[in-house]
């Protein structure tokens, strides 16, 4: 990968990676730091990275950095009891806000898989490569997450 | 490649997995068509399919604002194109001419006499050493030995043989002569007695050399790579086969020597003992500058003797050397 290829990666994938990190960490500062560090690592290893694999390489780095960060700070359990800073942002519509709320109730792995699938359009195989799972685990985890989201939507509809 | 870990048709017991695979775009075209057909056949399952479809997250329009900090520009090179061959050729010509002019001017600034040179003449009987205020005097014998061991004459190193010891009178005389170049030049022009010739041009930072032609003539020789000092007649009135060769890295040389026209035998003997004074000036010049050469010829012409000075036992030779 040349410097020009790297800059193309920044142009193409920086926003998506930031969105993925922001949805996963729910903290703007953490998301920025993770994006910065992920691209820094990509730049360091650019000679070893194939251009066509650069996106999955970036997301793999970011995903594992995010997991390490969450484990280090033990924020996952603690965050649920705190006001969600990301939720304070205005939503485009009611359904999206409900989905964001439902997404925040998923486990870290489920949320990451849903984001990688829906936002980035990765296949099960690609998600498995990024997350270190096998494709069967990815499929099962994703299906369970979808069913949980559906149940959340049904429950909300019942309340409304 | 589509994900399908089982081979079976969609039915009311497995439709949920098919719905999810359909929403995740993990089915091939045929399976997708099968799901769509199944939904049309089972309208009661369309609501459940719609709920699952709503779980799909729509990408948020988020922009990473610090994207510029991620770019690396160091790999790129800047090219400054020069449009037009004429412009490039003109620039090259101007630069070349400028460089040439700078080189020529720099060389002309170096048109100064070289200090501290030593001259050697192979004829032992006709050489003496006269020191100047510029170069501190040293013991004659020691210096001659050192210079003789230094190898062949040349390369700015001129050796003197049979140098007399420097006497306090000589030092005093040199100090007097060193008071001003104009006075020295005037004094030199007055010298007519070969026994008391002293050629000085301290204002021009000259160097003393030896070699005393008997008739006071001037001999000049020039070469592109070497400088030769040659006296046509020795002190005893016979042709002097010996030459004083000064090899230096100069393009040309002018030798101006002054000496007595009629040297008594007694003075010849004194000269052989190193006690007779004459003068010679060696001027290294480029032969293109004949006007400058003429100036130094006049400067080193035989001058009247200084009656008050004790010049009878001295030999004064000045060297003017220029580099181009």
Q: Find residue A142's DSSP bridge partners.
A: none
Residue A159: which CATH number? 1.10.10.10
Chain B's closest residue to A155, CA to CA, is B51
Answer for the pair A130, A56: CB distance below 8 angstroms, yes or no.
Answer: yes
Based on the fold, state whether residues A71 and A102 are members of the same structural domain: no
Per-residue pLDDT for B218 more than 50? Answer: no
Task: Give the range of the structural domain holding residue A30, as residue numbers without chain letter.
Answer: 1-88
Mutate to test the interface with A, among B27, B57, B72, B74 (most CBs of A within 10 A): B57
Picking from A88, A121, A138, the residue at the C-terminal end of a domain is A88
Based on the fold, state whether residues A63 and A116 are members of the same structural domain: no
Per-residue pLDDT for A116 more than 90? Answer: yes
Q: Which of A14, A124, A147 sits opposite B64 (nearest CB)?
A: A14
Based on the fold, state whether residues A3 and A75 are members of the same structural domain: yes
Based on the fold, state whether residues A80 and A51 are members of the same structural domain: yes
Based on the fold, state whether residues A100 and A147 are members of the same structural domain: yes
- Tens of pLDDT, residue by residue over B177-201, are 544 444 444 444 444 444 444 444 4
Q: What is the pTM of this model?
A: 0.46
Cβ of residue B224 closer than 8 Å to a chain A Cβ: no
Answer for the pair B307, B280: CB distance below 8 angstroms, yes or no.
Answer: no
H or E segment to which residue A8 belongs:
helix A3-25
Q: Find residue B258's DSSP bridge partners.
A: B279
C-beta atoms of A18 and B75 within 8 A: no
Predicted confidence band of residue A113 (pLDDT cuts 50, 70, 90): very high
Phi-psi group of A26: left, alpha or beta (phi > 0 → left; psi -120 to 50 → alpha; rest → beta): left
Cβ of residue B47 closer than 8 Å to a chain A Cβ: no
Based on the fold, state whether residues A57 and A81 are members of the same structural domain: yes
Residue A40: which CATH number? 1.10.1740
Cβ of residue A149 closer than 8 Å to a chain B Cβ: yes
C-beta atoms of A19 and B62 within 8 A: yes
Query: Total structural domains in chain A?
Result: 2
Average pLDDT estimate for A34-40: 94
Q: By C-alpha distance, which of B38, B33, B43, B32 is closest to B10?
A: B38
Count of other CB atoms within 10 angstroms of residue B190: 14
Based on the fold, state whether residues A76 and A5 are members of the same structural domain: yes
Least confident of A91-100, A109-118, B221-230: B221-230
- Tens of pLDDT, residue by residue over B257-272, are 555 444 444 444 444 4
More reliable by pLDDT, A5 or B321: A5
- Tens of pLDDT, residue by residue over B24-42, are 999 999 899 999 999 999 9
Per-residue pLDDT for A143 more than 70? Answer: yes
- Can you tell me the distance from the alpha carbon of B35 to that of B56, in angstroms, rounded to the nearest whole number? 18
Based on the fold, state whether residues A65 and A50 are members of the same structural domain: yes
Based on the fold, state whether residues A69 and A32 are members of the same structural domain: yes
Q: By C-alpha distance, which of B267, B266, B265, B225 is closest to B249?
A: B225
Count of other CB atoms within 10 angstroms of residue B321: 23
Based on the fold, state whether residues A82 and A95 are members of the same structural domain: no
Q: 């600034």: which residue's tokens?
A: B109
Average pLDDT estimate for A79-85: 47
Angle of helix A28-44 versus helix A3-25 axis, rounded to 10: 150
Based on the fold, state whether residues A95 and A160 are members of the same structural domain: yes
Based on the fold, state whether residues A12 and A73 are members of the same structural domain: yes
Mutate to test the interface with A, among B64, B67, B69 (most CBs of A within 10 A): B64
Picking from A88, A112, A144, the residue at the C-terminal end of a domain is A88
Picking from A29, A60, A88, the residue at the C-terminal end of a domain is A88
Predicted confidence band of residue A96 (pLDDT cuts 50, 70, 90): confident
């Amino acid at each position: 990968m040349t410097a020009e290829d790297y800059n193309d990666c920044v142009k193409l994938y920086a926003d998506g990676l930031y969105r993925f990190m922001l949805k996963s960490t729910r903290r703007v500062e953490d998301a920025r730091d993770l994006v910065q560090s992920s691209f820094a690592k990509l730049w360091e290893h650019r000679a070893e990275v194939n251009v066509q694999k650069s996106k999955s390489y970036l997301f793999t780095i970011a995903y594992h950095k995010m997991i390490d960060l969450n484990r280090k700070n033990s924020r996952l359990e603690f965050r649920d009891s705190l006001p969600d800073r990301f939720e304070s942002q205005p939503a485009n519509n009611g359904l999206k806000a409900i989905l964001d709320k439902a997404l925040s109730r998923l486990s870290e792995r489920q949320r990451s898989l849903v984001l990688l699938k829906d936002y980035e359009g990765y296949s099960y195989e690609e998600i498995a490569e990024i997350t270190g799972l096998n494709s069967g685990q990815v499929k099962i985890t994703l299906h369970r997450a979808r069913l949980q989201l559906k149940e959340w939507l049904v429950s909300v509809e019942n309340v409304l | 490649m589509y994900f399908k870990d089982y081979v079976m048709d969609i039915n009311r017991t497995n439709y949920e997995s098919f719905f999810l695979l359909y929403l995740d775009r993990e089915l091939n075209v045929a399976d997708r068509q099968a799901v769509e057909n199944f939904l049309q056949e089972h309208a009661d399952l369309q609501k459940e399919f719609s709920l699952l479809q709503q779980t799909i997250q729509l990408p948020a329009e988020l922009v990473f604002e610090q994207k510029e900090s991620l770019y690396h520009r160091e790999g790129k090179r800047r090219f400054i194109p020069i449009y037009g061959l004429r412009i490039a050729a003109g620039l090259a010509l101007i630069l070349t001419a400028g460089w040439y002019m700078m080189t020529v001017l720099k060389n002309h600034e170096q048109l100064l006499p070289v200090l501290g040179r030593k001259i050697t003449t192979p004829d032992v009987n006709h050489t003496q050493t006269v020191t100047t205020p510029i170069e501190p005097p040293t013991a004659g014998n020691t210096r001659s030995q050192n210079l003789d061991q230094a190898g062949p004459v040349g390369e700015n190193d001129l050796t003197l043989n049979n140098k007399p010891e420097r006497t306090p009178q000589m030092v005093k005389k040199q100090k007097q002569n060193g008071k001003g170049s104009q006075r020295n030049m005037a004094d030199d022009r007055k010298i007519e007695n070969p026994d008391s010739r002293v050629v000085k041009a301290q204002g021009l930072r000259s160097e003393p050399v030896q070699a005393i032609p008997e008739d006071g003539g001037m001999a000049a020789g020039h070469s592109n790579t070497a400088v030769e000092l040659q006296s046509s007649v020795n002190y005893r009135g016979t042709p002097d086969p010996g030459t004083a060769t000064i090899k230096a890295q100069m393009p040309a040389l002018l030798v101006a020597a002054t000496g007595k026209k009629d040297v008594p035998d007694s003075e010849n003997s004194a000269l052989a003992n190193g006690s007779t004074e004459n003068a010679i000036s060696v001027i290294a010049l480029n032969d293109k500058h004949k006007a400058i050469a003429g100036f130094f010829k006049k400067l080193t012409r035989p001058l009247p003797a200084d009656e008050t000075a004790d010049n009878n036992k001295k030999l004064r030779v000045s060297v003017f050397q220029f580099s181009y």
